[in-house]
Amino acid sequence: MKELKREKMTNQIHPTTIVDPEATLGEDITIGPNCIIGPRVVIGSGVRIGANTIIENFTTIGEGCRIFYHAVLGTEPQDLKFKGEESHLVVGPNTTIREFVTMNRGTKEGGGVTRVGEGCYLMAYAHVAHDCQLGNHVILANAVNLAGHIIIADHAVVGGISAVHQFVTIGEHAFIGGCSAVTKDVPPYVRAVGNHARIFGVNSIGLSRKGFSGETIARIKRAYRYLISSKMNTTQALEAIEKNLPASDEIQKITTFIRSSERGICK
């Protein structure tokens, strides 16, 4: 059988763009006018980069990402303890980064890497600070500001013009309403909003759209009734959940998240 030869796809780089010789580019990349691609940047195949974008040292952009105009990625962390040590920004494949998004590299104290997962969507003017760890399919709406060392789990959504305090953790499938100030951890599967953010029930619509069954959503709601609506303290509520509800992955994630929270959860 004759072996098929794969033709190499050429990159389209505007002549006004500067690409450092130490940068590594995949195939089929498009880079618009007036961009700067710094040293030791790695850009995966199929990436589209809009005009006036800056990507600085030690940044890795996964395959299939779309980066819109005026984004600034991989700059030094805004941390007074940073002394110029090597640190990284890693963006997963198929992530969309809209206009004027800014993302900083990590710091030595935070593990040295700021990381954004696969298939995320970061809307215009969002900021991801040093050492943040975003899971897969996370959505940050317009002008969301993440301070340093924040963890956001898979499929979480943060509404526009919201600010998240450093070291906060947001659980998977959580939904943060717009204009919120998030100062404590937000458990999985809930809706939270306000200044300061409080829980206002389960993210039922979001869970349904992601394929969670009605039975599973009902079980999650029952768990949070113990935590939010009862007169139990957190320890008593967790014991009641584990005693009265059938074991499941969702219940396990809720109880583990709350027990491991260092900042305490918003309630």
Please identify every residue annotated as catalytic.
130-131, 148
**Cα–Cα distance measured from residue 146 to residue 165, given in angstroms and rounded to the nearest whole number:** 7
**Cα–Cα distance measured from residue 238 to residue 224, given in angstroms and rounded to the nearest whole number:** 10
**Cα–Cα distance measured from residue 240 to residue 242, given in angstroms and rounded to the nearest whole number:** 6
Contacts of 218 (CB under 8 A, 6+ apart): none
Q: CA dist 76 to 35, 101, 106, 129, 132, Å?
A: 18, 15, 8, 10, 14
Taking Cα atoms as reference points, which of 26, 35, 31 lies closest to residue 8? 26
Q: How far is CA 147 from the centre of its chain?
A: 12
| Core vs surface per residue 176-214: b (16+ CB within 10 A) or e | bbeebebbbbbbbbbbbbeeebbbeebbbebbeeeebee
